[in-house]
């Protein structure tokens, strides 16, 4: 539920009926200890701490094994607290009463506590590098060497991911400790959120079959859980009046509940057979975790029905939130152990599962593209949520009696439909197997879908539909983003063009495609770059949404033709190329219907032809939009001049008439020419 009322002032004076601050911190510590006990019990029940004796091989050190499981729980607790508190400070608190760009006293307090947790997060992450090194090589801590740890950091994915996380956690701590503005809190929260991601791509979900679905689900699961748990922790320890903050947090918590539940189920099904839910200890623990999440959802419903209506009296809220935090700690304890325990294996032994995340598809055909779907969880979730949000905005305007053009709504739906087809249909499967199919996906994400999304004017809809809040809210954040230095920089025409074309030349001629194909992180980054760079470029060219700088229509037309020239050069270069791009990746797949290196080169040349010829349809749409916008602009300018002329005539001031002023200007030019 969205509040449109004036937000309450934020002070640090605690009401007399409110429990003391130290009592609430004791509850937080107690909840963390209960979670640790649950983590230890879960590890014992699933056999995660059991040392298996293997003949002829070095056995795991019990101390290392215990540290491997226990530090994962500590890592999860401090990272959730750090990032969650920062998200709460940035998203749920209104800005300062005198200047909404500045943080309030409560936000400042949360950011300093978050900085402390982020510093602990960096320390635990650094220690886990040593623990994971010893665990990987089945040695004790006494045998750990500096050179070995350095090699582990530089040569192994697990070490690299923990190294990146350590750096990002430290950066998050520094930015959070120095933030005095809402923008600074957003930056700290963003850095921390990115820091949560690297270990995801090196866990069990990254090595099992269906790892693309599992990893997508796990990303959504972890980010949603962090915002949900961290927001409740922030409200629980807050010293200020939380009435306005709860109004912002409550609907987000409801969304997070749905995301955590659904993504958790998706991740489990992608990692393990469904029947293992009721036949293995791992499945029993997953069901117990799901049950705890459902109970937390019930407690959240009780908040909305009982405690929130009683605010600003916080007694009932704090008592119920204390129970909720205990359940959250239990869930985190179970999740930490399940993350360090290998799930039951699927029986499918297709060797391509480890590379693709799905079995080798049948030979390419249009029927296979239309029927053999493999959903991209992240893009499907984005498509559904943003389409629902767009339709909700249209409905809100309709209730106010404001008409929103239906073609824009159709464009939005059409754009996200194109994205889902490109990423989740059979085309998404073949894009990792055939260069030509990958190029079709690239063109749809980079040239076709962005045109529809930009013409739908989502920012204009959001600015009209979202309520205004003097202390800062989603509408004010969107306006701040549009007029930010970042937006002013990337909307420079040549900068937008450079970002747009970089996906063509840097990706394909620098070796990045090899990494993007073999890494799910790289694959996601590549597809998001295609989509976002396309949206940026077409926003500058044909976007009806507000932008920080204006560009004349002749300049827009010239800029678009320049981009088409570079597209054509790129396509011709691929068609005439003699070397296979990302050859190691495509050769390792051993696609049965592609005949060796010659077949790969022929398919790449087909991809070049697609890149060269695909621009025809987008060009028709873009040029039609430009001509229509140009004509409307001239019409609006003509009507403006006519209105000025009419006012000049009504006021008896013909010199204010633009037509008369222009005629006088021409007359002066003629006089000067006659004098010369």
Query: Tens digits of per-residue pLDDT, 641-667?
Result: 556 556 656 666 665 556 556 566 556
Give pLDDT, residue 11. Answer: 40
- The alpha carbon dihedral of 254, 256, 262, 265 has a sign of negative
Give pLDDT, residue 4. Answer: 36
Q: How far apart are CA 668 and CA 662, in angstroms?
A: 10
Q: How far apart are CA 141 and CA 421, in angstroms?
A: 50
User: Quick check: bond before 312 cis, omega within 30?
Assistant: yes
Query: Would you say residue 349 has pLDDT above 70?
Result: no
Which range of 71-80, 508-517, 615-624 scores highest in mean pLDDT? It is 71-80
**Which residues on adjacent β-strands are paired with residue 102?**
181
Query: Tens digits of per-residue pLDDT, 477-486?
Result: 888 888 888 8
Q: How far apart are CA 408 and CA 454, in angstroms?
A: 9
Give pLDDT, residue 517. Answer: 85
Reported as half-sphere exposure (CB side, CA atoms, 13 A), residue 443 has a value of 25
Q: Are 561 and 622 in contact (CB under 8 A)?
A: no
**Band (520; pLDDT cuts 50, 70, 90):** confident
Q: How far apart are CA 67 and CA 133, in angstroms?
A: 12
Mean pLDDT across the chain = 82
Query: Tens digits of per-residue pLDDT, 291-304?
Result: 888 888 888 888 88
Percent of the chain with pLDDT strictly greater than 90:
24
Q: Are 40 and 70 in contact (CB under 8 A)?
A: yes
User: Mutual orientation of helices 281-302 and 21-46 as an angle, nearest 10°?
Assistant: 160
Where would I find the H helices in 340-358? Answer: 353-356
Query: Would you say residue 346 has pLDDT above 70?
Result: no
Query: Would you say residue 172 has pLDDT above 70?
Result: yes
Mean pLDDT of 360-387: 88
Q: 121-125, 282-286, 319-323, 390-394: lowest mean pLDDT where?
A: 282-286
Percent of the chain with pLDDT strictly greater than 70:
85
Mean pLDDT of 398-407: 89
Q: Are 46 and 281 in contact (CB under 8 A)?
A: yes
537: enclosing H helix or E strand? helix 520-542
Query: Would you say residue 14 has pLDDT above 50?
Result: no
Give pLDDT, residue 335. Answer: 86
Q: Which residue has the higher pLDDT, 162 or 242?
A: 162
487: enclosing H helix or E strand? helix 485-490
**Band (203; pLDDT cuts 50, 70, 90):** confident
Closest CA to 547 of 463, 626, 618, 620: 463
Other CB atoms within a 10 A radius of the CB of residue 291 amount to: 11
Mean pLDDT of 119-126: 94
Q: How far apart are CA 254 and CA 351, in angstroms?
A: 40
**Band (59; pLDDT cuts 50, 70, 90):** low
Give pLDDT, residue 453. Answer: 94
Mean pLDDT of 105-118: 91
Give pLDDT, residue 19. Answer: 62
Give pLDDT, residue 413. Answer: 95
Q: Which residue has the higher pLDDT, 532 or 585?
A: 532
**Band (421; pLDDT cuts 50, 70, 90):** very high
Mean pLDDT of 260-266: 87
Give pLDDT, residue 364. Answer: 83
Neighbouring residues of 251: CB distance < 8 A, sequence distance ≥ 6? 1, 2
Q: How far apart are CA 17 and CA 647, in angstroms?
A: 65
Give pLDDT, residue 57. Answer: 46
DSSP code of 49? T
163: enclosing H helix or E strand? helix 157-178
Which range of 7-11, 198-202, 269-273 scores highest in mean pLDDT? It is 198-202
**Range 1-24 burial, b when 16+ CB lie within 10 A, else e:** eebeeebbebeeeeeeebeeeeeb
pTM, two decimals, is: 0.84
Question: What's the 3-state SS for 568-619?
Answer: HHHHHHHHHCCCCCCHHHHHHHCCCCCCHHHHHHHHHHHHHHHHHHCCHHHH
Give pLDDT, residue 390. Answer: 94
Q: Is 640 exposed, middle or buried (0-12, 13-18, 19+ CB in 10 A)?
A: exposed
**Band (216; pLDDT cuts 50, 70, 90):** confident
């Amino acid at each position: 539920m969205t509040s449109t009322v004036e937000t309450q002032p934020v002070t640090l004076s605690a009401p007399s009926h409110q429990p003391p601050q130290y009592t609430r911190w004791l509850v937080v510590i107690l909840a963390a200890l209960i979670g640790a006990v649950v983590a230890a019990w879960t590890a014992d029940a699933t056999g995660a701490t059991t040392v298996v004796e293997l003949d002829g091989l070095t056995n795991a050190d019990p101390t290392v094994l215990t540290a491997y499981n226990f530090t994962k729980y500590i890592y999860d607790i401090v990272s959730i607290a750090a990032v969650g508190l920062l998200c709460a400070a940035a998203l749920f608190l209104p800005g300062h009463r005198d200047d909404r760009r500045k943080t309030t006293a409560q936000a400042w307090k949360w950011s300093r506590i978050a900085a402390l947790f982020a510093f602990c997060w960096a320390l635990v992450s650094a220690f886990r590098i040593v623990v994971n090194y010893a665990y990987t090589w089945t040695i004790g801590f006494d045998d750990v060497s500096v050179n070995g740890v350095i090699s582990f950091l530089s040569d192994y994915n697990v070490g690299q991911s923990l190294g990146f996380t350590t750096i990002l956690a430290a950066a998050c701590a520094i930015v959070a400790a120095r933030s005095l503005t809402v923008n600074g809190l957003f930056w700290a929260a963003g850095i921390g959120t990115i820091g949560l991601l690297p270990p995801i791509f090196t866990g069990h979900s990254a090595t099992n079959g269906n790892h693309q679905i599992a990893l997508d689900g796990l990303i959504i699961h972890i980010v949603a859980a962090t915002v949900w748990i961290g927001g409740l922790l922030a409200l629980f320890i807050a010293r200020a009046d939380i009435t306005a903050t709860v109004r912002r947090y409550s609907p987000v918590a409801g969304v997070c509940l749905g995301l955590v539940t659904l993504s958790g189920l998706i991740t489990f099904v992608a990692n393990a057979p469904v029947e293992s839910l009721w036949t293995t200890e791992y499945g029993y623990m997953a069901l117990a975790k799901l049950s705890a999440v459902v109970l937390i959802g019930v407690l959240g419903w009780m908040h909305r029905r009982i405690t929130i209506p009683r605010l600003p009296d916080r007694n009932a809220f704090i008592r119920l939130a204390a129970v909720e935090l205990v359940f959250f700690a239990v869930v985190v304890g179970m999740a930490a152990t399940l993350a360090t325990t290998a799930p039951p294996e699927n029986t499918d032994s297709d060797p391509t599962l480890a590379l693709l995340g799905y079995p080798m598809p049948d030979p390419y055909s249009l029927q296979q593209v239309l029927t053999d779907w493999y959903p991209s969880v992240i893009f499907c979730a984005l498509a559904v949520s943003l389409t629902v949000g767009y339709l909700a905005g249209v409905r809100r305007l309709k209730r106010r009696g404001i008409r929103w053009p239906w073609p824009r709504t159709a464009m939005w739906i059409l754009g996200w439909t194109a994205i889902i087809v490109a990423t989740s249909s059979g085309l998404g499967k073949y894009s990792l197997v055939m260069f030509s199919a990958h190029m079709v996906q690239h063109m749809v994400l980079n040239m076709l879908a962005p045109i529809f999304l930009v013409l739908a004017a989502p920012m204009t809809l959001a600015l009209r539909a979202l309520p205004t809040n003097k202390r800062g809210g989603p509408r004010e954040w969107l306006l701040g983003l549009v007029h930010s230095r970042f937006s002013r920089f990337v909307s420079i025409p040549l900068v937008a063009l450079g970002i747009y074309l970089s996906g063509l030349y840097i990706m394909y001629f620098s070796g990045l495609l090899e990494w993007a194909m073999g890494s799910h992180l790289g694959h996601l980054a590549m597809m998001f770059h295609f989509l976002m760079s396309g949206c940026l470029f077409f926003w500058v060219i044909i976007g009806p949404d507000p932008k920080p700088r204006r560009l004349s229509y002749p300049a827009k037309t010239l800029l678009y033709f320049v981009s088409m020239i570079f597209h054509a050069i790129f396509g011709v270069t691929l068609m005439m190329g003699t070397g296979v791009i990302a050859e190691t990746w495509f050769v390792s797949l051993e696609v049965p219907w592609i005949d060796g290196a010659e077949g790969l080169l022929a398919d790449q040349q087909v991809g070049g032809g697609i890149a060269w010829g695909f621009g025809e349809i987008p060009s028709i749409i873009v040029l039609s939009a430009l001509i229509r916008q140009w004509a409307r602009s001239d019409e609006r300018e003509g009507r403006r001049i006519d209105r000025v002329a009419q006012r000049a005539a009504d006021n008896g001031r013909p010199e204010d008439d633009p037509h008369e002023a222009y005629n006088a200007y021409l007359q002066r030019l003629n006089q000067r020419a006659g004098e010369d």
